[in-house]
Amino acid sequence: MYARGRPIVSSIDDRKLKLVFVTEDDPLYVIKFFEVFFDEYPNDQIEIIGVSVQEAFHEPKWKTAKRIFNFYGPIDFFRLLARYFRVKIRGDSIVKLAKENHLPIVECGSVNDPQYIERLSDLEPDIVASVAAPEIFKKGILSVPKLGCINIHSGKLPIYRGMMPNFWQLLHGEKHAVVTVHEMVEKLDAGDILGTIEWPLKDHDSLDRVITGTKQDGARLMMEIILKMKAGAAEVTPLDMSNKNYFRFPKRKDVRAFRKRGHKMI
């Protein structure tokens, strides 16, 4: 699937790499990535100059609730809802976590808004990193960072492009979830590969465990890739799109098949 890589040439090894994160407002799962990254990244080599947090689905909250209810079913939905209310009462959020780590928040309605692109350009980032960002990056923002925009995806590419890759990998009986960091291009999940890890799956697993674990270990993978890019030691591996696939948000029949395999949602 992957051909021999080409190196990334960098000229910033003598200073801190300037990094901007773009992510979604998810205090349950995506926040697990940032708990690890903010705690473990070497701040003598990486400077996080901005964190942008967007709404998750760009839709009314009732519509999001209906989508999640249909996906999890009534019992798991209310278990998840109880967990959500607990973190909301505590005030947990990615924005709060960033502020606790003295990191600047860069307000963002859309990454493709000219005003946001201008704001990022003024910051002169070396890398813009997408972590579950809820929209496709277009040419304007892709051209801003010196070393490019990168994305982390919890699925093997190009087979598990699209939404909820951990769900689909479990449903299809994969032995590992493949966490991928790749370059971003205008087409979704189609950029060249910067690095991967294989995250072991169980015969009878829970989506909750897998999402949490891949977010945490994915943070360490992204950290490793960013440091390699800084040093000019990263290799970009072309993505062979000949066996590409794309998955949308699972339907009820998919969830039934998932449970029939012996997997749990939570």
Give the mean model confidence (pLDDT) for residues 53-66.
Answer: 80
DSSP states of the chain: -B---EEPP-S-TTSPEEEEEEEE--TTTHHHHHHHHHHHS-TTTEEEEEEEEE-SSSS-HHHHHHHHHHHHHHHHHHHHHHHHHHHHHHT--HHHHHHHTT--B---S-TT-HHHHHHHHHH--SEEEEES-SS---HHHHTSSSSEEEEEESS-TTTTEES-HHHHHHHTT-SEEEEEEEE--SSTT-SPEEEEEEEE--SS-BHHHHHHHHHHHHHHHHHHHHHHHHHT--EEB-B-GGG--EE-SPPHHHHHHHHHTT-B--
- C-alpha 18/C-alpha 235 separation (Å) is 20
Among 48-57, 90-99, 136-145, which stretch is predicted with the lowest mean pLDDT? 48-57
Has residue 58 got a pLDDT over 90? no
pLDDT at 4: 46
- C-alpha 60/C-alpha 185 separation (Å) is 28
Asked whether the CA dihedral 53, 111, 135, 191 is positive or negative, the reply is negative
Can you say how many angstroms the Cα of residue 182 is from the centroid of all Cα atoms in its chain?
A: 11
Q: pLDDT per residue over 177-220, tens digit each?
A: 999 999 999 888 889 999 999 999 999 999 999 999 999 999 99
- C-alpha 7/C-alpha 235 separation (Å) is 4
> Which neighbouring-strand residues pair with 182?
151, 193
Has residue 7 got a pLDDT over 60? no
pLDDT at 1: 41
- C-alpha 123/C-alpha 145 separation (Å) is 9
Q: pLDDT per residue over 155-169, tens digit each?
A: 999 999 999 999 999
- Show the domains of the chain with their CATH numbers: 6-260 (3.40.50.170)
pLDDT at 12: 74
